[in-house]
Amino acid sequence: MRALICGAGIAGLTLAWHLERDGWDVKIVERAPRFRHGGYMIDFYGPGMEVAKQMGIRPRLLATQYPIDEVDYVNGEGRRTSGVTFTGVLGDGLNVMREDLAQALHDEVRSPIVYSTSIESIRRHADSVAVRLTDGTREEVDLLVGADGAHSRVRELTFGPEEHFVRYLGRQTAAYTLKDEELHREIGMRFRSLTVPGLMVAAYSQRDDGLAVLFLRQEPDPRLPDDIVAELTRHYGHLGWILPKVLSLRPPASEIYYDQVNQVEMDEWSKGRVVLIGDACQAVSLFAGYGASLAMAGAWVLADELRGAGRHVPGALTRYHARMAGPVAEIQRFGRQSLEWVAPGTRGRIVARDMFMRLMNLPGANRLMVAPLATAGKGLIKPHSAPLIDQTGRA
């Protein structure tokens, strides 16, 4: 059985790992010119952590994790206004950079990855999918997987235009990293954030004097700006705190992540032998804090349904959607609700947020904040006592 996976991100690499060990011939295409470094910090736990254990990569993630368990809110002078400590709240979970998780997956995948390549056209047949790639080559496969993100090309070709499925949440976000010893020392190993009505900027330290900066802004117009550097300066340059220095040390525009805050909502995730996974069909938004875990869980569930399905691929794809749809919808609801707490639109809401954060420091109270995430997806992943072994006897 042959599978073509479009997208070498967390969902695509996780699925490739499992299909390889089930005897599939897998090829991955990725539109980026190379492995994508950078990214943001993720809270990684839940079903994704169970998948990581089964794949044998948990020790590597533990070695690269960041011990961030404190969130501080500050004003324009850098003075703390509120905060909360989350020690032990994630249980078996941890904080890792998206890049470190993706690299751990990448290093375990044996299938070829063809970069600077995407899908040009798709023709679905009863027993196969004919695909033409942007490099001019053609593939005939038993399964085509769109793991190519919220702006999925596979989804567009199979289901229709993006605007039919992408839900804009009225915010735009940006992120980049820089190196500065003084800023690294000031922020320390915690997540520090400044909020004014409709705007949020947060920073957290990385290794080797690194600093990651994350911006969030309310914006009713979904169109992205032509000049993102000017946009960041205009909205954040007057806020004080560390912003003047952070903006002066920004990387070139080409290295700044800038996008809408979106969710993807679809009634079906497959047609024939074409299927979507990860953000292509279930994006919960950056601020829901569960996307990587759901991406790995979805890949595991899809592989689990395909295992033993033989050539009855379409039925396996339908069952995969049925198992995943409920947990995804639950996390998406949580993500929409959390946005108003991340970047409150009024000063009154900021005051209410700060009061709430102070209450969360009461013993056991902060577990209420992650309760919806802790239970979502529970039972999706069947536990295994050891990493899966493929037909050659290799883990």
In a domain, 199, yes or no: no
Nearest-10 Cα torsion for 47, 91, 13, 389: -80
Tokens read off for 342: 């991340």
pLDDT at 339: 81
Q: Are 156 and 122 in contact (CB under 8 A)?
A: no
pLDDT at 391: 44
**Which residues span the domain enclosing 146?**
2-166+262-375
Please give the backbone phi and psi of residue 129, each rounded to the nearest 5 degrees, phi first: -130, 125
Count: domains in the chain = 1
In a domain, 7, yes or no: yes
pLDDT at 70: 80
- Strands 94-97 and 113-115 come out as unpaired
Query: How many angstroms separate the first and last alpha carbons of the chain?
Result: 20
In a domain, 193, yes or no: no
pLDDT at 387: 42
The DSSP code for 226 is S
CATH code, 39:
3.50.50.60
Q: What is the pLDDT of residues 113-136, one digit of tens each?
A: 999 999 999 999 999 999 999 999
In a domain, 206, yes or no: no
Question: In sequence order, what DSSP letters do the residues of 285-348 get, joined into one string?
Answer: -GGGS-HHHHHHHHHHHHHHHHTTTTT-HHHHHHHHHHHHHHHHHHHHHHHHHHHHHHS-SSHH
Query: How far lies 292's CA from each of 10, 48, 72, 283, 372, in Å?
Result: 7, 7, 24, 10, 16
In a domain, 334, yes or no: yes
Question: In sequence order, what DSSP letters do the residues of 5-62 get, joined into one string?
Answer: EE--SHHHHHHHHHHHHTT-EEEEEESSSS------EEEE-THHHHHHHHHT-HHHHH
Spell out, as residue ranges, where the chain has pLDDT lower than 70: 86-92, 360-378, 383-395
pLDDT at 346: 85
In a domain, 91, yes or no: yes
Taking only Cα atoms into account, the Rg of the chain, rounded to an integer number of angstroms, comes to 21
Please give the backbone phi and psi of residue 85, each rounded to the nearest 5 degrees, phi first: -105, 135
In a domain, 79, yes or no: yes
> Hey, which residues does 243 pair with through a beta bridge?
none
pLDDT at 389: 43
In a domain, 224, yes or no: no
